[in-house]
Amino acid sequence: MCGIVGIVSIKDTPINSETIKAMNNKIYRRGPDDEGFYFSDRVCLGMRRLSIIDIAAGHQPIFNEDNSVVIVFNGEIYNHNELRAQLKEKGHVFRTNSDTEVIVHLYEEYGIKFLDYLRGMFGLCIWDSNKKTGYLCRDRFGIKPIFTAITDSGHLLFASELKAIFASDEIKKIISPAGLDAYLAYNYIPAPLTIYEGIFKLPPAHYIAFTENNISAPIQYWDANDIPAQQEPSIDEIDNLIKDSITVHMESDVPIGTFLSGGIDSSLVTAVASTHEKFHSTFTIGFENSGHLYDERPLAKLVADRYSVKNSVFHNVKPNPEKILTEAINAFDEPFADDSIIPTWEICELASKQLKVCLTGLGGDELFGGYYRYLGIQYYGLYAKLPLFLRNLLFKTATKVFSKSSSRRMNHIMRFLRAGRLTAAEAYTSYLTALDISERENIYSAGYRSKINDQATKDLMLNHFNKCTSQSLLQKAIYTDINTYVAEDILALSDRVSMWHSLELRVPLLDHILFEKCFKIKDALKIGSKEKKILLRKVARKYLPSPLFQAKKQGFESPTSTWINTSLKEYIDTMLDPQRIAAQGIFNARQIQTLIDKHRDKSQDNSKIIFSLLMFQIWHKEIYSA
């Protein structure tokens, strides 16, 4: 696990070697064990290394036999031993046992098709000095990030983190209205956007080709649409695929732990991982004085006890939200408002004091149908068969009858009825939207509102839903999530927070071999009328205590709504002060104060809006204005 940076000159503009060093210094936390550089007139590369595989000889950059091909690589390739053996049979000579060197020789053998052979997570750059051609590549699910920018001087800049791009001093900080509106709509910023004008995320499963005088647009090399229809897998087959994925994700020269939440996904990962030689411990947290809803420890302990995990850590935390959020924004470099950032921060900090690598259960919900919104899109398919006039009437009637209700359950019902009048793509987009356009328009200042393109924000989701070639609404929803929410919310959160603590997180349930087997299985094996993750639960029952299957899904979240009125109250009053807001010229200060007041008198739950505005203001103060 590492971080990478690079500069490519496409107009023969000189590259200052000190610039690449400055960029590399900014990502020190991603790899405090080692650093390395490659310098040439047209291409300069840098990397930071967290040593996990071939600790002694895995120094980067790594070259082929004649030093004509060079790579910097962030990630892990879990099938590298198998690939190395195949390449040796073809005559390739290796200097190390690292997974990084395998990629170089794969490129020599197959060109850019080398990507098809990789099983793992990666953000990488390969430069072929003989062919004067390079490739910047991101893994299929976007587990590892790549940020890019093209400067006025003719430089392509890329890095694992935004802060390294700005270390070049070639890019100005200008807020992107498109990025900001996407952030407020979804609580994160989907690729290719960032919060900045002129800086972009390379989308998952894409690469950029470059020469000394040309840069391609991002090119997609893998698409779930292209997965061929297969015979429905048996429970035993899925069981074996899951075990195989977890096993290959245990590849390491250092001990490995797991994050154990007490949910089905992380518990299953822990159950299988605990049988391996490299397994070390589990990590679980609970919040003080926040009630049972947010305490993962009782169910997690059942799993740890069943598998006799002696070094499990069950930590009771009383976090300092103000401190964590300020540090977290420095890890992200852009606004991010998924409130699971706080427990993720706590558990990464806890685990990093003992280990360099942990496995998580992320991806199980997307692959096997674990979200309530997946039930929602299933119900939509039935509800949409009613005549439109009747759906409109039901929504209008419910609006009148329940207009004063503030319960979460009623909010979900109203969202469903509102979405029921839309197309399937628009309905699912509405499920994903934390703040719809009418709410966003109200909190923008009059002057800033004219910069916002609502349709472009919606298209970030609509385009993926409509691109999915399946007739299944559930598959369309999962396809949308895989290309947006998974990469730039849950995986971005895992990457930025873990690497800030110099900890590598691995996600065995987001393995492309497992995904390709499960994506197109029939909906009934994933979701019933009430039950979610049907197939995964059947597999997991072989491994896990029965109380886990009776527990209500709670997610990895924080008691944010309570904190807004308690431990974060003074901080919010400072950061969302009307004078501060008005001076920026972006938001309507009066409307924001109204949202805060209604949350505090408990007439409305505005926690998500307030939290997203708070995180934007922290970013504005700590990063943008710094």
**DSSP output for 443-501:** HB-HHHHTT--HHHHHHHHHHHHHH---S-HHHHHHHHHHHTHIIIIIHHHHHHHHHHT
For residue 495, give every residue at least 6 positions away whose Cβ sits within 8 Å of its Cβ, in sequence order, or none: 143, 144, 145, 505
pLDDT, residue 1, reads 57
Closest by Cα among 72, 112, 286, 288 to 209: 112
What is the C-alpha to C-alpha distance for residues 392 and 390, in angstroms, rounded to an integer?
5
Query: Measuring CA to CA, how many Å separate 299 from each of 59, 257, 290, 346?
Result: 42, 18, 17, 19
Let me know if 358 is a catalytic residue.
no
Within 83-165, strands assigned E span 120-128, 133-138, 147-150, 155-159
Residues of the chain with CATH 3.60.20.10: 2-222
Q: What is the pLDDT of residues 46-79, one digit of tens each?
A: 999 776 665 655 688 999 999 999 999 999 999 9
pLDDT, residue 51, reads 65
Question: 226 near 468, Cβ under 8 Å?
Answer: no
Total Cβ atoms within 10 A of residue 418: 16
- Token output for 515: 């995904």
Give me the mean pLDDT over the 381-391 stretch.
Answer: 90
pLDDT, residue 52, reads 65
- Pick the catalytic residue from 2, 44, 137, 358: 2
What is the C-alpha to C-alpha distance for residues 194 and 175, in angstroms, rounded to an integer?
9
pLDDT at 253 over 90: no
Give me the mean pLDDT over the 253-271 stretch.
Answer: 93
Residues of the chain with CATH 3.40.50.620: 225-384+420-554
pLDDT band at 554 (very low <50, low <70, confident <90, very high): low
The DSSP bridge partners found for residue 47 are 4, 36
Which homologous superfamily is 225-384+420-554 in? HUPs (3.40.50.620)
Q: What is the pLDDT of residues 498-511, one digit of tens each?
A: 999 999 999 999 99
Q: What is the pLDDT of residues 408-421, one digit of tens each?
A: 677 778 888 888 89
pLDDT, residue 319, reads 74
Question: 361 near 265, Cβ under 8 Å?
Answer: yes
Q: What is the pLDDT of residues 434-472, one digit of tens each?
A: 999 989 999 999 999 999 999 999 999 999 999 999 999
pLDDT at 557 over 60: no
The sign of the torsion formed by the CA atoms of 601, 606, 612, 616 equals negative
pLDDT band at 212 (very low <50, low <70, confident <90, very high): confident
Q: What is the pLDDT of residues 103-160, one digit of tens each?
A: 999 999 999 999 999 999 999 999 999 999 999 999 999 999 999 999 999 999 999 9
Closest by Cα among 174, 167, 161, 154 to 214: 154
pLDDT, residue 291, reads 46
Give me the mean pLDDT over the 347-362 stretch.
Answer: 94
CATH 3.20.20.60 fits 2-222, yes or no: no
Radius of gyration of the chain (CA): 24
Q: What is the pLDDT of residues 276-330, one digit of tens each?
A: 999 999 999 887 655 444 567 888 999 999 999 987 888 777 778 889 999 999 9
The DSSP bridge partners found for residue 128 are 69, 133
What residue has token string 């690939």?
Answer: 83
pLDDT, residue 293, reads 47
Half-sphere exposure of 87 (CA within 13 A, CB side): 24
Give me the mean pLDDT over the 345-365 stretch.
Answer: 94
The DSSP bridge partners found for residue 48 are 3, 35
pLDDT at 407 over 70: no
Question: 191 near 142, Cβ under 8 Å?
Answer: yes
Q: Is 39 exposed, middle or buried (0-12, 13-18, 19+ CB in 10 A)?
A: exposed
What is the C-alpha to C-alpha distance for residues 299 and 109, in angstroms, rounded to an integer?
49
Question: 479 near 470, Cβ under 8 Å?
Answer: yes
Mean predicted lDDT score pLDDT of the chain: 91
Phi, psi of 266 (to 5 degrees): -70, -30
This prediction has a pTM of 0.94
Termini Cα distance of the chain: 29
pLDDT, residue 126, reads 98
pLDDT, residue 32, reads 78
pLDDT at 496 over 70: yes
pLDDT band at 567 (very low <50, low <70, confident <90, very high): confident
pLDDT, residue 419, reads 87
Q: Name the more confident of 295 and 225.
A: 225
Question: 121 near 76, Cβ under 8 Å?
Answer: yes
| Buried b or exposed e, range 349-383, using 16+ CB within 10 angstroms | bbbbeebbbbbbbbbbbbbbbbbebbbbbbebeeb
For residue 201, give every residue at least 6 positions away whose Cβ sits within 8 Å of its Cβ, in sequence order, or none: 145, 146, 147, 148, 189, 191, 192, 193, 194, 488
